[in-house]
Amino acid sequence: MTTFSPSIDWSDEFLKSTLWVLQVWVITALSLLVVLFVVGRTTEWGRQFWRITGDYFKGRQSVPAWAVVGLLLMSAILVVRINVLLSYYANDLFSALQVTFQSGSARDTGIHGFWLTILVFAVLAVCYVARTLADLYLTQRFLMRWRIWLSRRFIDDWLGDYVYFRSQFSRQPIDNPDQRIQQDITSYTSDSQTLAVGAASSSVSLVSFTIILWQLSGPITVLGLQIPRAMVFLAYIYVIIATVLAFRIGRPLIRLNFLNELLTASYRYALVRVRDNSENIAFYRGEPVENRGLMSRFTAVIANTWAIVFRSLKFQGFNLVISQIAVVFPVIIQAPRFFAQEITLGDVTQTAQAFGEVEGSLSFFRLAYDDFASYRASLNRLTQLQDANDEARALPAPATEDRESGLSVQDLDVRLPDGRPLLTDLDLNLDGGESLLVRGPSGSGKTTLLRSLAGLWPYVNGSIERPLDGRAMFCGQQPYLPLGTLRTGLAYPLPAETLSDEEAVETLRAMQLGHLVDRLDVETDWTKTLSPGEQQRLAFGRILLAKPSLVFLDETTSALDEGMEHAIYELIRERLPGCTIVSVGHRSSLENLHTNELTLLGEGQWETRTLVV
């Protein structure tokens, strides 16, 4: 007659488990650091990882981040220990139930054992729930802080040194930097945490349940050869073969996921262009052309999606078959020993659970290959953005020196990307309060000259002296209005908080925009609300508020009538008498508002003359 006895001593398990978790945490943490170092030195994606985020984990400021990483690792190890204890609980539960089928005192021990295991389960369940909630909070806290740091870094890098504009002149301009900063950073941080913690947890689980499986395994005779502890060897052989095959099946998913991001971004960008240019498209009746363009991009997205679907069917189908076989495989192996009464029903149950944990741990990278493919795609896109930023920052720019007022240009050569000259050996000298009108046929390089003076055009040589540090303003034909209130648009590029109500009201009225005074703090899409003429007058209002020493105007009065144009120039001259004005325009009326004229003749030729004001 068999009586029930617990598979482990539950009375001192709390102390044993605590010591186990601490010991395993130290070993796993050291191992993880070694793996991160080796991967960062020996693999391309490891080098990409450290290039993107290495600074976040360096220096004194990285201590809180490492502390949370340590807690997350502790949480992963803790759940492994809970799962180990749950496997012993399951063993005791089914063994107790098996004993209850006997009679006499043995049956009583089975009943007592059943309720004891239920109590053990209640304690483990509470620990599991508490750990899960704490892990959820720590994970989100860690990911949000990491994402904030990365977003700030990439945004600062993209906006610094005019990279966001100059990157279009790179040898291979990248697509959709906005999506890379928003979406790929989110995927990168989440996938990094999931894969790293999952790999660590799977490694600890593999060792823990391999020991259990080793203890429960028996010998198997194959072709006259007895294999001791055969269940362990079978589990490893089974999963290794399945993993190798899965990698071969799933490898194309890396490129397909990269193409999915690229094609989806292109399709979304085309949709945004239709939205932003809806009026012009409507005037041209361009709907059929836009429809064909959109459907062409959408067809490419669908074709790639189908390729992902078919490849995923093969990959996921293979994984499902492997996983389903793993459910019954250990039970079939242990069944002869159970029928021979060498092991209990609880042993069979724990064997199946341990085999499943070993199989799941060994299968981690096989099952996570799809996620790893997406992760590599995010790594590649973020690395490409960094490369493009570095390349744009390395593009040449003219030597620009600071001066209090005026503008001086010496030996300035401006070229097209193919090397053709727009301006050759340009020399200019304007004192404070003087003004220059730049004229010439379309395509002669008037706007490109302004870009060169601003330091935006890379195909330029020479020296420039002009006011720096925000004392120069460049205004285009289509003024930029940021998202937000009208006050934000009027104060730009200064913060809206720096603009008082009195200054805002006075400036709007001076620009003949008094009807907008009551809407100063209304938030809407002002680009669509204001007419082109109102937007240009708002841009001149910014000049009055910023009080620059030098201002460049590129067709900035094209939407104004000549009377309004004259009044605004006179107002600028009255309010800012020391300001140097450089205007690009075609109207003859502009001649009376400037002291000098520069005419671009084409093929690098130019001439200047003095105007009478």
pLDDT tens, residue by residue, 448-502:
888 888 888 888 988 999 998 778 888 888 888 888 899 999 988 888 888 898 9
Task: State yes or no: pLDDT of 138 exceeds 90.
Answer: yes
Task: State yes or no: pLDDT of 140 exceeds 90.
Answer: yes
Start and end residues for every CATH 1.20.1560.10 domain found in the chain: 10-394
The pLDDT value recorded for residue 582 is: 92
By the 10 Å C-beta count (0-12 exposed, 13-18 middle, 19+ buried), 207 is classed as middle
- Strand ranges for 419-560 from DSSP E: 421-430, 435-439, 460-466, 472-475, 484-485, 523-524, 550-554
Q: Which two tokens stand for residue 248?
A: 């071969």
The pLDDT value recorded for residue 277 is: 82
Gap between the Cα atoms of 609 and 438, Å rounded: 11
The DSSP result for 465-493, as a single string, is EE--TT-EEEE-SS----SEEHHHHHHTT
Task: State yes or no: pLDDT of 613 exceeds 60.
Answer: no
What is the pTM (predicted TM-score) of this model?
0.75
pLDDT tens, residue by residue, 541-579:
999 998 999 999 988 888 888 899 999 999 999 999 999
Alpha-carbon dihedral sign for residues 525, 527, 528, 534: positive
Q: Which two tokens stand for residue 351?
A: 């064997």
Average the pLDDT over each of 8-12, 114-118, 310-314, 565-569 and give the range with the smallest value: 8-12
pLDDT tens, residue by residue, 379-403:
998 999 999 899 888 888 888 888 8
Percent of the chain with pLDDT over 70: 98
| Domain range 10-394, CATH architecture | Up-down Bundle (1.20)
Q: Which two tokens stand for residue 448?
A: 């490109």
Gap between the Cα atoms of 187 and 372, Å rounded: 11
Gap between the Cα atoms of 485 and 487, Å rounded: 5
378 contacts 222 by C-beta, under 8 angstroms: no
The pLDDT value recorded for residue 579 is: 92
Question: From the CB of residue 496, how many other CB atoms can be counted at a distance below 10 Å?
Answer: 18
The pLDDT value recorded for residue 307 is: 93
pLDDT band at 75 (very low <50, low <70, confident <90, very high): very high
- Name which residue leads in pLDDT, 204 or 345: 204
The pLDDT value recorded for residue 374 is: 81
The pLDDT value recorded for residue 575 is: 92
How far is the CA of 330 from the CAs of 93, 137, 225, 299, 347, in angstroms? 19, 37, 20, 47, 11
The pLDDT value recorded for residue 101 is: 79
What mean pLDDT do residues 520-542 have? 90
**Which amino acid, residue 156?**
D
Question: From the CB of residue 349, how many other CB atoms can be counted at a distance below 10 Å?
Answer: 20
Task: State yes or no: pLDDT of 418 exceeds 70.
Answer: yes
Max CA distance (Å), the chain = 122
**Which amino acid, residue 294?**
L
Gap between the Cα atoms of 21 and 332, Å rounded: 33
Q: Which two tokens stand for residue 336?
A: 């002869």
Question: From the CB of residue 260, how many other CB atoms can be counted at a distance below 10 Å?
Answer: 18
Start and end residues for every CATH 3.40.50.300 domain found in the chain: 399-610
CATH 3.30.70.360 correct for 399-610: no
Gap between the Cα atoms of 233 and 104, Å rounded: 41
Beta strand 484-485 with 421-430 is unpaired
Percent of the chain with pLDDT over 90: 30
Gap between the Cα atoms of 46 and 142, Å rounded: 20
Beta strand 220-222 with 435-439 is unpaired
